[in-house]
Amino acid sequence: MKKTISLFLGSLFAFILSATVAYSAANEVRVAFFLEWATPNQEAKVKKVFDDALGVPVKWTNFATGGEMTEAMLSGDIDISYSQGLTPFVNAVNAKAPIKLVDIAVTYGMGNTTCIVSNASGITKANAAQLEGKKVAVPVGTMADYVFKETMKVVGADAGKVSVVDMNPEDGSAALQNGDVAMACLFGGKSIENALKAGTRMLSVKEATDAGISGIDITSVTNKFLKENPGMVQTFVEITHEYNAKFRAGKSNMNIIAKDAAMDLAGTKKQMGGFGFPDAATIKSKYMNKGGILMKYLDVMGNMFATAENPALRNYSKVVTTKYLP
């Protein structure tokens, strides 16, 4: 009997402990980021500029998808997600996750998130309807998923009839090379590079841009961190913009960025060439304003990925704030 009681108390204790750990404030800032996704502020990351400017150590953790970033934010392991895709963010706020969008990290054309159709399948834009019933590798719930759905609309195929295989970009590009799938929708420099060895883009970068398909990556922060350390969020955003400006002026140290992004120099330059890092004024006037690009995207995507359990929000401006932009 004694043992039963002690076991019961022990498990109860474990429960309480796990609850308190999630709520206690750590004396460091924990940031999530992507590998193979080169951004100018990685120079600041390597040079420990963030640590200096925030006055506390900054711990960077890399993730495979934006959805995992959200999971970590919900469990209290991550404070700031840098360069989270808009799609996972929308999924998170549809599920009422307490996170907020504070900045636009990267805007990009289809060069860096794209659908690549295998050469062996003989499918092109002209006969894209043949994809129906075939297998397509898509990392579900990411920006690539959004690009997949939009691309299908452009080429006139029914995305609902395509058999979607849920795969991460690395696996998707391998599956395309093996001929397991007819098309793979991917993001990330190396994955796209590998996939292009066995396939071609369904839509060229220009065609995609003309069709209005482009991606936005954002910076999201947990509500709790925002309330506790508004100054730190502001500083984080400010440094990011400072290094973005440095990149626009051509003064970034590309070697450092390439190494930190786990890519080679040429690949990094090519990838970043396709990236846009809008400055604060542009974000305020064009993206995050009422009816701005970002707000439209949020509405479209919110409805695209809504489920019965997690319906789209009526108004996404509640989860977006421009307060922290420099």
Q: Which residues form the interface with other proteins (CB under 8 A)?
A: 15-16, 18-19, 25, 47, 49, 52-56, 65, 67, 70-71, 74, 88, 91-92, 95-100, 135, 137, 140-142, 160, 163-167, 171, 174-175, 178, 180-181, 223-224, 227-228, 230-231, 234-235, 239, 251, 305, 307-311, 318-319
Side-chain-side CA neighbours of 50 within 13 Å: the count stands at 25
Sign of torsion, CA 29 227 43 292?
A: positive
Measured between alpha carbons, how far is 222 from 236 in angstroms, rounded to an integer?
A: 14
Measured between alpha carbons, how far is 200 from 21 in angstroms, rounded to an integer?
A: 48
Shortest distance, position 233 Cβ to other proteins, whole Å = 11
Shortest distance, position 223 Cβ to other proteins, whole Å = 5
Angle at CA of residue 81, ends 27 and 301, nearest 5°: 150
Token couple for 325: 């932009």
| Identity of the residue, 65 or 271, whose beta carbon is nearer to other proteins in the bound complex | 65
| Identity of the residue, 109 or 230, whose beta carbon is nearer to other proteins in the bound complex | 230
Sign of torsion, CA 119 121 122 127?
A: negative
Shortest distance, position 152 Cβ to other proteins, whole Å = 15
Residues with Cβ within 8 Å of 230's Cβ and at least 6 positions away in sequence, in order, are 323, 324
Identity of the residue numbered 62: N
Shortest distance, position 205 Cβ to other proteins, whole Å = 27
Shortest distance, position 190 Cβ to other proteins, whole Å = 16
| Identity of the residue, 223 or 285, whose beta carbon is nearer to other proteins in the bound complex | 223
| Identity of the residue, 64 or 205, whose beta carbon is nearer to other proteins in the bound complex | 64
| Identity of the residue, 294 or 319, whose beta carbon is nearer to other proteins in the bound complex | 319
